[in-house]
Amino acid sequence: MITSTDLKERIKEKARELGFVLAGVTTPEPPPHFSTFEHWLAQGQHGTMAYLADERSRTRRADPREILPECKSILVLATPYMSPSPGGRGARGEGEARIASYAWGADYHDVLPARMKELVQFIEEQAGGPIRNRYYTDTGPILERDLAQRAGIGWIGKNTCLINPKQGSYFLLSEILLDLALEPDLPMVTDHCGTCTRCITACPTQCILPNRTLDAKRCISYLTIELKDDIPTDLRPLISNWAFGCDVCQMVCPWNRFAVEGDPAFGTQNPSRSLTEELEITPQEFNQRFKRTPIQRAKRRGYLRNVAVALGNTAGWHALPVLNKALEDPEPMVREHAKWAVEEIKKRNGL
């Protein structure tokens, strides 16, 4: 008869075969930092992400057994994506868009659920019968990093990312709640950030807070992805040429010198995108190019909003014709940010 320890090791081995380079097991007990999450919400630091403050969502985040009452174990998984460092990988030249490295390829929401489904099928085969389960990858009302830390995968760094001391922080997290008792792994309790504050110092918008949370309303990733309205004018100059997401706090983290090679499903190199060419993309071209990629989440109007801001921050007078053309775009948001960009370029070039 297979022991619980042997079963866990078989599950981890299968997980690695499926591309989950890190795997750990924890209990379904309430996450230790839920009070921090509640305080973060109370301070309004979640911005317009109202779904985070929904009462049902909060109840479930407070206790995983509200999601799956039969839950006895939680399997936490990490999949690497391509790092924009070391060696300067991911740096963009003048006039080019910067894209967060997790978004260089396919959307993980499409890729990882199929792998987790296959892993669940394997677990059921090994256990000898059906097992009630739920699985998520940034899609369910759970505190992923809390569970990952408790499963021994890493610690929550000052930049709020989960960091593994041997493999860095360029990971996508996934979780499988199981009606199956597995021996939990030891949590990672050591804070390896020490006195380092590189991420806090490097953050362009100074959104990183002292308690390992961040003010989402100032985070470039939030501003260019989650925010569906106009970007506040005082924050636009700080975005530089980031057109979707931001990697700065991870790029300066010393632990990412150990970053592993990313899963090829999520891209193997930073796609070169001209900001001026991107601003002229039609709705049809946008849908065709970015279908089933993370960039689709921003929709055309949000993406071109970001591109216009990036041009306003980095482009010379040669970008004015395409920006002037964007002043006639059907989307009011694109027109407003293009107008801002034109004014910024004129001021910078004395026009």
Residues designated as active site: 138
Closest C-alpha to 153, from 103, 104, 188, 193:
188
**From CA 109, how far away is CA 156, in angstroms rounded?**
22
C-alpha distances out from residue 142 to 100, 214, 216, 322, Å: 24, 18, 18, 43
Q: Is 225 exposed, middle or buried (0-12, 13-18, 19+ CB in 10 A)?
A: buried
3-state class (DSSP) for residue 272: coil
Residue 81 to residue 251: CA distance in whole angstroms: 13
CA distances 230 to 224, 311, 334, Å, are: 10, 16, 9
Identity of the amino acid at 242: W
The span from the CA of 290 to the CA of 19, in Å, is 24
